[in-house]
Every structure is written in structure tokens, then in C-alpha cells.
């Protein structure tokens, strides 16, 4: 029966099975990794072979989803909305995409497709790669196309080095967007960051070194390897257990890498030393974030103060040493030591030092602008005011912030009180 459906699609809509025909039952659309740039034949289970399973690639997918207790209701990465078959297709294809109906003369646009129409086989022609925007392989294809001789002059000029600044810019924009939580803006910023990954993989592919397949493979293997408590027999009851296990696994990986590299050396000088647990921390990271990551790694290996009192004592010790410093070099060194200990203090308190400092800077920026406004209202220049006068404006700015916060909170308190009375 499937042969007849395929034959009709070939005759009427030019189906080329060699392009990678996908055959899926309607109720499997949500869990099958559809690729819109490949032809799709949707066949009701009643029209399939013995057991109601699709032929080809869909058979294994359907069987795995039915027997795997961890199989999600929708394919991971496309499961945020719990879409039904029609909604899934509309996320992957444009609304005016033609849908061929096997055994029915008329075609329909995807926007006109109904659930009842899926009671009989339908065929969706493949999208051009650049139009299959919801596919994970669309962006790599677009990147490849931009780098061709008749592609984009700017993209053709890029190198790994020239793209470095863009990678940092996009990473920081994602970092900022995270403050808003799960928003469409965050989706856009994550896409911008992903583009940088794709571009670097494309450059490497042109050099014959690696491509996106290797990127996917490397990170997937690493994550599975470092989670034996999920994908193996190891046990980890708490996040602390996971962190300790993670560091042990990474240490073993570093030792294995060093041993493999040493086996290629011909003398002691050619043999690299075993990597430190801190070697993987990028020097390009913001210093505060890098320092906290460094202290976390050391703590996971047992190098840490026994309690927070010890860190507070160390903060005071560094303050005393800073006060006693007499040269610029000494002051620079002591300030660095103080910042390092304060970062350790933040870690022990469960605070991200980078986030905390950014929040404090935002608060300072807001209050300083209020001070500037208040000075303008008084027709005075900040540099002409004494410190005591400036401090008074600062206190006034703080009071203004508190009043605004109380005003915003008042409606919520009234609402809570109303609910209590109505109980």
C-alpha cells in the first residue's frame, strides 16, 4: 500500500525518494525529528503495514518512543508547547506550503489543513534549505551558502580571528537577556550566539578539520560520559555529589589526555605535564566570573575554608594589609587579593559574584542619575558641592527609590487583604 502512495506522490508532485523520504503516522509527528527540507509522507496507522508502523526511518523512531520510558511526549527541542500534529507542521512549514492529498484531486495550503484530512495520506514537498528555518540544519546550510564564491562578500572575508569579537558580543547579549527569563528576545539572542558556532564550524569544514556533526558529537559524548549517574551505574543524590563526580571525571580525562600525548613524545621535554584542574578556565572571561569558577573548581577538590567564618577573617586580614600598603604595586596586589577573597565569600554564600556586582553597578547607576537630576533641579553643579551635600542628595535618592518601591507594592498588599476578607 505504501508503494502506491509513493507512486502517486512521484507522479503528481514530483517526489524524489532518493532525497530522503520521511514516512510518519500523524500521531508520531510530535516525536519524530522531522526535517522540512526532505519530502514528508504522513500516513495513518490504519494504512501502514503489519502492526501499524511506518516503513523506513519512522519505524525505529515509533518503536523506540513506545518502549523507552524516558521518551518525551514531543521531541526534545521541539516540545515547549505540547503541539498536536497540525500545530507541529505549522511550526515547521510556511502557511502557504502546498499539501498534496493522496487520492484527492485538490491540494490545500497548510493553513487549510485540518485534523480530519489526516485520516488519509498526505504529502508535503520539501522546502528549500534556506526556507526550512525551523530545521537544525538550516543555519549550517545558510552559512555554507553565504561562503560560496557568489555568496556574501562580508561572510567570505571572515576568519576565526575576525569573528572572535562577535562571539563575545553575542554571549554578553544572551547574558543580559537572561535577566528577563524565557522571552522571545532570549530566543533571538540565543540564535545570534548559535550563528557564531555555526560560522566557526563552517570555516573548519572548509579546512577539512571538522563540521557541525563533530560539534554535536563531541558535546553529546562529553555530557553522557560526565553523567554516569544518569546514563550509567554511578550514584549521585545531591548537586554536590554531581560536582565532586564531575571534577573526578574531568581529572581522569586530563590525565588520560596527558598520558596519550606523552606516549607520542620522544623525550621528557616533549612530554606535556598533566593539566591542572584550572587549565580550562578561559583568560578571556571577565575576571570576576573566572575567579569564582577557579575557586569553585578548587573547592570541589577539597581546597576550601572549613566554614564561612574563616573567609570573613581572611577578608579582614586583606583589608588590614591593604591599609598598610605603602606603594602602588603593594596596593594593586592587596586589592587583587581582597577581590579574590570576596569572590570566595560570594561562592560560599551561593551568590554569583559577576551578577551581584552587575546588580550593584545598576543600582549605583540609577541612584547617581537621581543625584544628577536633583542637582539640576537645585541649579547646582555636582563638582561644586561638598561631600556632605552630595551625601545628602544620595540619601534623598535612596529615599525616593524606597518610596517608589512601596508605591508599587501597595496594590499587591491591598489585593492580598481583599482576598483574606473574602475567605
Residue 12 lies in domain:
2-124
Shared domain check, 221 and 302: no
Instruction: Round to whole Å and give the CA distance between 71 and 161.
Output: 41
Provide the Cα torsion 382, 387, 389, 392; round to 10°: 110
Q: Output the domain CATH number for residue 321.
A: 1.10.287.1080
Shared domain check, 149 and 120: no
User: Does residue 55 carry a pLDDT above 60?
Assistant: no
Which of 177, 208, 225 corresponds to the end of one domain? 225
* β-pair type (108-109, 122-124): unpaired
Residue 57: pLDDT band (50, 70, 90) is very low
User: Does residue 260 carry a pLDDT above 80?
Assistant: no
> Of 154, 155, 150, which is closest to residue 199 (Cα–Cα)?
155
pLDDT at site 65: 46
pLDDT in tens, 375-415: 999 999 999 999 999 999 999 999 999 999 888 877 666 66
pLDDT at site 273: 58
- Residue 122 belongs to what H/E stretch? strand 122-124
pLDDT in tens, 164-181: 989 989 998 998 899 899
Backbone angles phi, psi at 149, to 5 degrees: -55, -35
Helix-strand-coil split of the chain, %, nearest 5: 65, 5, 30
Specify if 167 maps to a domain: yes
Shared domain check, 300 and 390: no
Query: CA distances (Å), 383 to each of 130, 375, 386, 387, 390, in order?
Result: 58, 10, 8, 9, 9
Shared domain check, 306 and 203: no
Specify if 52 maps to a domain: yes
pLDDT at site 250: 78
Which of 351, 368, 386 corresponds to the end of one domain? 351
The answer to whether residues 97 and 127 touch, using CB atoms and an 8 Å cutoff, is yes
Q: How is residue 144 written as a grid cell?
A: 555554507
Which of 207, 225, 243 corresponds to the end of one domain? 225
Specify if 272 maps to a domain: no
Specify if 418 maps to a domain: yes
Instruction: Round to whole Å and give the CA distance between 177 and 187.
Output: 9
Instruction: Round to whole Å and give the CA distance between 81 and 58.
Output: 23
Q: Please write down the long-range contacts of 146-155, taking CB distance under 8 Å and 24 or more positions apart.
A: 147/202, 147/206, 155/199
| Number of helices and strands in the chain (H, E) | 15, 5
Shared domain check, 16 and 60: yes
Shared domain check, 416 and 396: yes
The answer to whether residues 311 and 344 touch, using CB atoms and an 8 Å cutoff, is yes
Shared domain check, 93 and 38: yes
Shared domain check, 157 and 195: yes
> Of 230, 258, 256, which is closest to residue 242 (Cα–Cα)?
230
pLDDT at site 49: 64
Shared domain check, 54 and 26: yes
User: Does residue 416 carry a pLDDT above 90?
Assistant: no
pLDDT in tens, 322-352: 999 999 999 999 999 999 999 999 999 999 8
pLDDT at site 304: 87
Using a 10 angstrom Cβ sphere, with 0-12 exposed, 13-18 middle and 19 or more buried, the burial of residue 118 is buried
Specify if 75 maps to a domain: yes
Mean pLDDT computed over 2-19: 93
Provide, rounded to the nearest whole percent, the portion of the chain with pLDDT above 70. 87
Shared domain check, 118 and 7: yes
- Residue 99 belongs to what H/E stretch? strand 98-101
Specify if 413 maps to a domain: yes
pLDDT at site 58: 42
Shared domain check, 61 and 116: yes
Specify if 112 maps to a domain: yes
The answer to whether residues 375 and 381 touch, using CB atoms and an 8 Å cutoff, is yes
Specify if 130 maps to a domain: no
Question: What is the sign, positive or negative, of the torsion defined by CA atoms of 91, 92, 97, 103?
Answer: negative
Q: How is residue 236 written as a grid cell?
A: 549521585
Q: Cell 606523552 maps to which residue?
A: 262
Number of domains in the chain: 4
pLDDT in tens, 28-41: 898 888 999 999 99
Query: CA distances (Å), 311 to each of 67, 212, 306, 394, in order?
Result: 52, 45, 9, 31
Helix ranges, 235-307 (H)? 239-264, 287-300
Backbone angles phi, psi at 12, to 5 degrees: -85, -35
Instruction: Round to whole Å and give the CA distance between 353 and 347.
Output: 7
Instruction: Round to whole Å and give the CA distance between 127 and 26.
Output: 19
Shared domain check, 193 and 93: no
String of DSSP letters for 349-411 = TT--HHHHHHHHHHHHHHHHHHHHHHHHHTT--GGGS-HHHHHHHHHHHHHHHHHHHHHHHHH
Amino acid at each position: 500500500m505504501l508503494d502506491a502512495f509513493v507512486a502517486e506522490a512521484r507522479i503528481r508532485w514530483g517526489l524524489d525518494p532518493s532525497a530522503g523520504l520521511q514516512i510518519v503516522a500523524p500521531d508520531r509527528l510530535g516525536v519524530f525529528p522531522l526535517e522540512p527540507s526532505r519530502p514528508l509522507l504522513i500516513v495513518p496507522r490504519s494504512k501502514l503495514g503489519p502492526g501499524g508502523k511506518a516503513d523506513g526511518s519512522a519505524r525505529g523512531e515509533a518503536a523506540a518512543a513506545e518502549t523507552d520510558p524516558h521518551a518525551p511526549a514531543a521531541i526534545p527541542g521541539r516540545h515547549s508547547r505540547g503541539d498536536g500534529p497540525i500545530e507541529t507542521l505549522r511550526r515547521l512549514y510556511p502557511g502557504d506550503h502546498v499539501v498534496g492529498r493522496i487520492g484527492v484531486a485538490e491540494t490545500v495550503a497548510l493553513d487549510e489543513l485540518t485534523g480530519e484530512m489526516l485520516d488519509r495520506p498526505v504529502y508535503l514537498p520539501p522546502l528549500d534549505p534556506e526556507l526550512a528555518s525551523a530545521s537544525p540544519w538550516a543555519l549550517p546550510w545558510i552559512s555554507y551558502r553565504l561562503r560560496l564564491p557568489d555568496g556574501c562578500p562580508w561572510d567570505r572575508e571572515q576568519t576565526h580571528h575576525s569573528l572572535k569579537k562577535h562571539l563575545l558580543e553575542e554571549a554578553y547579549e544572551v547574558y543580559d537577556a537572561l535577566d528577563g527569563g524565557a522571552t522571545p528576545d532570549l530566543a533571538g539572542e540565543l540564535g545570534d550566539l548559535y550563528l557564531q558556532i555555526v560560522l566557526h564550524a563552517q570555516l573548519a569544514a572548509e579546512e577539512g578539520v571538522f563540521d557541525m556533526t563533530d560539534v554535536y558529537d563531541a558535546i553529546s559524548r562529553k555530557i553522557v560520559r560526565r553523567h554516569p549517574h544518569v546514563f550509567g551505574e554511578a550514584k549521585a543524590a545531591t548537586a554536590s555529589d554531581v560536582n565532586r563526580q564531575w571534577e573526578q571525571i574531568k581529572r581522569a580525562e586530563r590525565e588520560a589526555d596527558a598520558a596519550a600525548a606523552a606516549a607520542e613524545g620522544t623525550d621528557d621535554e616533549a612530554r606535556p605535564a598533566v593539566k591542572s584542574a584550572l587549565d580550562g578556565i578561559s583568560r578571556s572571561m571577565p575576571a570576576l566570573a573566572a575567579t569564582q569558577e577557579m575557586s569553585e573548581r578548587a573547592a570541589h577538590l577539597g581546597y576550601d575554608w572549613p566554614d564561612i567564618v574563616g573567609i570573613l577573617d581572611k577578608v579582614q586580614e586583606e583589608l588590614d594589609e591593604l591599609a598598610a600598603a605603602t606603594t602602588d604595586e603593594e596596593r594593586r596586589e592587596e586589592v587583587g587579593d581582597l577581590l579574590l577573597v570576596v569572590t570566595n565569600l560570594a561562592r560560599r554564600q551561593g551568590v554569583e559574584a559577576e551578577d551581584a556586582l552587575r546588580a550593584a553597578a545598576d543600582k549605583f547607576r540609577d541612584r547617581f542619575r537621581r543625584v544628577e537630576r536633583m542637582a539640576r533641579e537645585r541649579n547646582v553643579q555636582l563638582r561644586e558641592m561638598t561631600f556632605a551635600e552630595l551625601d545628602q542628595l544620595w540619601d534623598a535618592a535612596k529615599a525616593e527609590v524606597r518610596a517608589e518601591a512601596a508605591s508599587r507594592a501597595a496594590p499587591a498588599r491591598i489585593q492580598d487583604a481583599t482576598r483574606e476578607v473574602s475567605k
